[in-house]
Amino acid sequence: MTSLIFAPADAATRPLHLVSKDVLEDWREGLDARARAFVEASGFAATAGEVVLLPDETGAVVAAAGGLGDATTRARKRFVVAELRGKLPEGSWAFRSELTGADLNEAALGWLLAGYVFGRYATVSALKAMLVAPEGVDAERLERIAAGEALTRDLINTPANDMGPDELEVAARVLAEAYGAEISVTTDAALKANFPMIHAVGRASPRAPRLIEMTWGSTGPHLTLVGKGVCFDTGGLNLKPGASMGLMKKDMGGAANVLGLAHMLMAGDTPIRLRVLIPAVENSVAGNAFRPGDILISRKGLTVEINNTDAEGRLVLADALALADESPTDLIISMATLTGAARVAVGPDLAPFYASFGDDAAALAAAADAVRDPVWRMPFWDPYEAMIEPGIADLDNAPKGGFAGSVTAALFLRRFVTETSRYMHFDVFGWNPSAEPGRPKGGVGQGIRALYEALPGMLKP
């Protein structure tokens, strides 16, 4: 049902004029008299998302114009062109505009993303207007980006009864098979012995916890992606209130993000050696659940005092990061729906990230601007290290006081990356709370398009 590809290049098309407010008058004057009179009578003002269908003398639609708004609107609203797609009749269309470079790519990608629908549980009509890829864009690249984004959205949108640790493993296996990647999964006694914190967090669920590992590529720099795969988070014995539990199917959004990014990288045959690690668990309540006050011994040997069982994401990530850090790698990136503090700081739209090297942060920020995938750098603030040291153990999983919650979580994770100099961590929300052009309400990728754009430069041999 999802329409995330361009129309064939030889398809019969009708022109779609993309008109901003600042060129409206000139564009209108360039029309023939009949079309100009029709546009004026329609009141078309080129406001963002506005569409006017242009008929011939028989009344048949032969062209259309779509408004882009003014510069201020475009700065505040991503993917304006995505809003046009649902207002156009069935058939193939071709852009007519002066857009170039990043603006043209955004318009074409926005069109594709507007075709995403999640129809697993209800009948949803797919959009039937298609677009021939504009000259000047890499159509295959944009299609693989859209497909990776759709994978991320599908995984997050699927409720926990159909997206537990086992189903997340299946999704990883399907992706691995599609691109010839190797995959292995650690469970049961081997998980308890080698990844004790992953096991501790997931042991109370009837759906077994596991560590999923996927590897792909034989040449080029080493990149390791680690994604938090908490398929549902009750909060454990520190039980969340009902209102806070409602969106916890998205607590595996970090895993969904890294799988979406992995799809883009593998589909594009990126010259890297890729490793994906996903600790997949459900944080449940049972007699064998881990408790506040417990002290866990991590894979790395660091001890962790549990002061809140609802701060479980950093525990499962820590064991996976320790594994990632044991093999030579050029860059480790972790992605997780980790803290409410990050949402308070930057809201749902921005993806806060931490980077050990300023050059990596600068490259990512530039890429994010280019592809309209906003990120915001947060600090690994060393003076806060003492906040995660409880005295009775090496680390505290939930420092008291409530200050700098996202920063202290990032510092906690950094303790498990000691051999790899380049580390980045993303504290994402993974959810779009209200529908926007190209981004329906629900699961959403954050930071992965920016990373896909930036990584080739960041990982030059």
Virtual CA dihedral for 242, 247, 251, 255, nearest 10 degrees? 160
Catalytic residue (one of 87, 96, 141, 240): 240
Distances (CA, A) of 171 to 151, 153, 447: 9, 13, 21
- 36 a catalytic residue: no
Strands 442-443 and 431-432: antiparallel
Query: What is the spatial distance between Cα 280 and Cα 446, in angstroms, rounded to a whole number?
Result: 20
Catalytic residue (one of 300, 314, 414, 415): 314
Spatial contact of 39 and 32, defined as CB atoms under 8 Å apart: no
Tell me phi and psi for residue 114, to 5 degrees.
Answer: -65, -20
Name the burial class of residue 336, with classes exposed (0-12), middle (13-18) and buried (19+) by CB atoms within 10 angstroms of its CB: buried
| Token pair for 93 | 């269309």
Give the type of residue at 107.
A
Cα-to-chain-centroid distance, residue 169: 18
Tell me phi and psi for residue 421, to 5 degrees.
Answer: -75, -30
- 21 a catalytic residue: no
List the catalytic residues: 240, 314
